[in-house]
Amino acid sequence: MEEMALTLKGTQQGIVLRPLSDSWEDVLQGLENALQDAEAFFRGGRLIAEIGHQELTKDMLAALRAILDRYDMELWAVLSDNETTIHTARTHGLRTRLPGETVGLLPKEQSAAAPTLPDTTPPSSVRTDLGEHALVVQRTLRSGQSIKYPGHVILVGDVNPGAEIIAGGHIIVWGKMRGLAHAGALGDEHALICAIELTPAQLRIAGFFGRPPEGRRRKLVPETAKVSEGAIVVEPWHTRE
Amino acid sequence: MAGKIVTISSGKGGVGKTTITANIGLGLAMLGARVICIDADIGLRNLDVMLGLENRIVYDIINYIEGRCRFRQALVRDKRFPELFMMPAAQTRAKDAISVEQMKSVAHEAAQMVDYVLIDSPAGIEHGFRCASAPAELVLVVANPEIASVRDADRVVGLLEAETNTPARLIINRVKPEMVFRKEMLAPEDVVDMLAIDLIGLIPEDPEILTASNRGNPIVLNNGSLAGKAFLDIARRLQGEDVPFAPLKPPSFFQRLLGSH
């Protein structure tokens, strides 16, 4: 297996790209591959390039943007301690520092502009490391709102119709799941979707896709959705006597 | 002390924002409050028609912003209540004729004069909505008991939470008790449950609302009607009174006979 040229990591602020290779070409190639593998997850997102002390020229920046454009992504910020890189980024209207604390959605370590982020995520690959990171959110997710996170997502509250959760790992909703849920969005077929009331518009796990049967009103009990023999199956939550 | 700025919004069009603005405005005036209603639906103004003040308009909000008239000149005084005013929208302009900052400054200037400033928001969630909701201390979100309307209202509440953190209260309009009892319409509890915000008004469907609006004499002026009372109750609740919600009237024997079941 070839060596990874970069890491990609989802944070509250955006997806953080950190090059591991000195060759910009390799980094871009690696990025392209990663985006291709999990297009649904990355599409529409914004990227924060954490370049370190590498010098980034106008052309390198343009090449990066060209790739992002193809995936409908925005280059939002370039973080660097190299004066030239900072200058180039600024002249292109990019942020070179992240805004301070936002709403506390994320584990602290990932919120602010910390140059020394602990590098716990594995290099971007199709399989996420389940059990690694979970995002806990406590609120109602309303129509038009979206949570995208490479790890698990735990939502304490309702997901209303028109809202979506896209997670690399499991999705657990302590409430009503009436919107769209995509678990294992980076390709993990072992991901689960659980909710106290699982009446979604649509469920997706990895590349699989399911809709609740129409017209039938089930008794509302907590349920779990998973992939079994090539299809999404929904089972009531078993409680022991 | 400056007055309270309240915006009436919904996301979806045609759910009754303007009717509600007119009726609450009049309702507050009936209770003795000083009120300015601002029509923020630039290019599609209707509030003047509903209040029966169309033929008294000389200047509008855009004229004021552009410095063509003074603030007081852009206000139209109500023919029934001398402490109720309306600031009309410009009919010949588009939403982008006013900026968020300008709308804020107009609303705050209005709030210096009166107890309540009501802003009638345009439909949609774009610039017009942003302008109308930016100055608000409270947003009344209007929904009809139908899925599309509830979903759009949900979107509006979400945007308010995310962008301005303005508190929102819910008005459910066009409730048909007999349909609710036949389980053919979302019950008010279902709507409240979905939107998870507090209810401030429950308006029963009543054809009289439409005829009253068409005549420029909003139904709140009609003391006998249920809908009129529902609007007045909203005005009372805005003033901090604890008014219980009238229970939905179950269909009468005759209504059941006449119904399709």
Query: Domains of chain A, with CATH numbers?
Result: 6-110 (3.30.70.260), 134-236 (2.160.20.70)
How many CA atoms lie within 13 Å of B45's alpha carbon, on the beta-carbon side?
27
Three-state DSSP state, B5:
strand
Contact B151 A145 (CB under 8 A): no
DSSP letter string over B103-124?
A: HHHHHHHHHHHSSEEEEEPPSS
Range B4-258: architecture per CATH: 3-Layer(aba) Sandwich (3.40)
Give per-residue pLDDT as tens, A8-44: 877 667 788 888 888 888 888 888 888 887 777 787 7
**Considering CB atoms only, which of A144, A145, A160 is closest to B194?**
A160
Q: Identify all chain A residues contacting B151, using CB atoms and an 8 Å cutoff.
A: 143, 160-162
Task: Tell me whether B194 touches chain A (CB under 8 Å).
Answer: yes
pLDDT at res. A132: 65
Give me the tens of pLDDT residue by residue for chain B, a chain 261 residues long: 799 999 999 999 999 999 999 999 999 999 999 999 999 999 999 999 999 998 899 999 999 999 999 999 999 999 999 999 999 999 888 889 999 999 999 999 999 999 999 999 999 999 999 999 999 999 999 999 999 999 999 999 999 998 888 999 999 999 998 889 888 899 999 999 999 999 999 999 999 999 999 999 999 998 889 999 999 999 999 999 999 998 877 666 665 666 544
How many residues appear in chain B? Answer: 261
DSSP letter string over B153-195?
A: HHHHHHHIIIII---EEEEEEEE-HHHHHTT-S--HHHHHHHH
Give per-residue pLDDT as tens, A71-115: 888 888 888 888 888 888 888 888 888 765 333 333 333 333 333
User: What ranges in chain B are assigned the alpha helix state H?
Assistant: 17-30, 47-50, 61-65, 71-74, 100-113, 127-133, 147-159, 177-181, 188-195, 207-214, 226-238, 253-258
Domain boundaries, chain B: 4-258
pLDDT at res. A215: 63
DSSP letter string over chain A?
A: -PPP-EEEEE-SS-EEEEE-SS-HHHHHHHHHHHHHHTHHHHTT-EEEEEEET----HHHHHHHHHHHHHTT-EEEEEEES-HHHHHHHHHTT-BSS--S--SS-S-GGGTS--TT----SPPS-SS--TTS-EEEEES-B-TT-EEEESSEEEEES-B-TT-EEEESS-EEEEEEE-SEEEESTTS-TT--EEEEEE--SEEEETTEEE-PPSS-------EEEEEETTEEEEEEPP---
Reported as a pLDDT band with limits 50, 70 and 90, residue A180 is very high
Cα A124 to chain center, whole Å? 11
pLDDT at res. A150: 86
Give per-residue pLDDT as tens, A124-169: 333 444 456 789 999 999 998 999 888 899 999 999 998 999 999 9
Quote the CA–CA distance of A1 and B22 in Å, as a whole number. 70
Task: Indicate the pairing of strand A223-228 with strand B35-39.
Answer: unpaired
Quote the CA–CA distance of A219 and B185 in Å, as a whole number. 21
Share of chain A above pLDDT 90, in %: 27
Closest chain B residue to the Cα of A162, Cα to Cα: B151
pLDDT at res. B60: 94
The count of other CB atoms within 10 Å of the CB of residue B108 is 14
| pLDDT of A3 strictly over 80 | no
**Considering CB atoms only, which of B151, B159, B196 is closest to A162?**
B151
Q: What is the mean pLDDT of chain A?
A: 79
Dihedrals φ, ψ of B94, to 5°? -110, 170
pLDDT at res. A172: 96
pLDDT at res. A216: 58
pTM over cut 0.90: no
pLDDT at res. B183: 87
> Is A50 within 8 Å of A79 (Cβ atoms)?
yes
Q: A160 to chain B nearest CA, in Å?
A: 7
Number of cross-chain residue pairs from A and B with Cβ atoms under 8 Å apart: 28
Task: Tell me whether B162 touches chain A (CB under 8 Å).
Answer: yes
